[in-house]
A and B are shown apart, each in its own frame.
Chain A
Amino acid sequence: MNLINWFRYASPQSFYPLAGRMIPLFWILALLFGAAGLWVSFFVAPTDAQQGEGYRIIFVHVPASWMSMVIYLAMAFWAGLGLALNTRLSSMMAQALAPTGALMAALSLITGAFWGKPMWGTWWVWDARLTSELILFFLYVGFIALQSAIDDPRRADKAGAILALIGVVNVPIIYFSVKWWNTLHQGSSINLTRAPSMAQTMLLGMLLMALAFWMYSIAVSLLRLRAIMLERERHSEWVKHALE
């Protein structure tokens, strides 16, 4: 019984109106979490003992880096599902997620460079963490380029899915790079096995910002997904009805 419901929303026709109803909800949540997160990050969180005010860039840097990895996993999952099951919607999902993922990876690299110059003394260093994140950015850009280079959407989906699935090996490398090799980038302040090495209010600000980034990413990806659905199914009956 449960399965029937899932398959119902696996068709663009029935997911299109549902996505339309969900988008405003995610925008509102993004705004709320974003406002609360910025307020905590700028006015509540204390100055860092070592870095002064400059550390506040982590409130954008860390959520952006997390999202760049999470979105890649989601993108590869949907692309793989589309490849395996030939479902139209999954491949559209993957296509809709890619630009937001690329944006997050770029944000992570740029904010990291801004932090690195005053703190480390360099904009960029070829250590394992920075290099693997740059590769992630290239994977996103490559996925987008490959998909747009092939005219037939079904073939474009297949080629993109293979690229996305091969690139998935990079995500654990990014995450564990600071453990496996000696890098200039510090280890993670937050992980599952021990208490975070961060003051409570700083952590709160970062988690609120992370939630805001999640909500923004979902909202903007659904928006893009709706546009992709209309474009790809433009010859079908339901699109004509939906646009009336």
Chain B
Amino acid sequence: MKPRHQRIALILGGVAAVGVAAFFVLRALNSNIALYVTPTDVLAGKSPAGQAFRMGGMVKGGSVKREGMTTRFILTDTAKDIPVAYVGILPDLFREGKGAVVQGRLEKNGEFIASEVLAKHDENYMPPEARHAIEQAQGKQAGKLQGVK
């Protein structure tokens, strides 16, 4: 083997070793890297008790109610629902039937008090006419199908 080939093998081996190491580190940190937990995880007790955490899901259609500055809505992953209360300004893309990520604490009464609400956008980009056509075709189901992960 020429020295040149030895160096190439060493480099490829090194990069592969770094890749394997990164794989195991990321696997070990898996739950810390995830930005949020789902309502199902929360109800299964996988959320940190008494601490602030992020919960992600879809804003249930027809559940948004505004009382003064307080907004109440239900966050769902289609399997489990959790009611959320938030005081403040909502982002532009916050819609019923769309994804949202809320940060805050789960109270004893089962209500999630959010200190921050973020809207999660999906990967679809389309003009209003196309959106209209899809909604017509799918009836009112359009919102329910999107934003679910």
Q: Which A residues contact B (CB, under 8 angstroms)?
A: 46-51, 54-55, 58, 80, 83-85, 118-122, 125-128, 165-166, 168-169, 173, 180-184, 186-189, 197-199, 202
Contact = CB atoms under 8 A, between A and B. Distances in A.
A193 to B, nearest CB: 14
A29 to B, nearest CB: 26
Interface in B73-120: 90-95, 101, 116-120
Contact of B120 (A51, A85, A120, A128): A120
Contact of A186 (B4, B95, B123): B123
A80 B131 CA distance: 48
Contacts of A118: 91-92
A46 B93 contact: no
Contacts of B94: 121
Contact of A83 (B7, B26, B125, B126): B7
B39 interface: no
Contacts, number: 116
B51 interface: no
Interface of B: 4, 7-8, 11, 14-15, 18-19, 22, 26, 30, 33-36, 38, 56, 90-95, 101, 116-132, 149
Given A51-B93, A165-B11, A186-B120, A199 B35 contact: no
Contacts of A173: 22, 26
11 contacts: A46-B127, A49-B126, A49-B130, A120-B121, A121-B94, A165-B14, A165-B18, A169-B18, A182-B149, A184-B35, A187-B122
A25 to B, nearest CB: 33
Given A84-B4, A121-B91, A199 B126 contact: yes
Nearest to A76: B15
Contact of B127 (A48, A80, A85, A186): A48
B127 A120 contact: no
Contact of A125 (B7, B92, B118): B118
B14 to A, nearest CB: 7
A50 B123 CA distance: 11
Contacts of B30: 181
A183 B101 CA distance: 9
Contacts of B18: 165-166, 168-169
A189 B124 contact: yes
A121 B117 contact: yes
A83 B127 contact: no
A54 B132 CA distance: 20
Given A83-B11, A84-B4, A121-B90, A189 B125 contact: yes
Contact of B118 (A49, A120, A197): A120
Given A49-B131, A119-B91, A169-B19, A198 B149 contact: no
A168 B126 contact: no
A169 B22 CA distance: 7
Nearest to A80: B11
Contacts of A55: 125
Given A83-B11, A119-B91, A121-B90, A49 B123 contact: no
Contacts of B118: 120-122, 125, 184
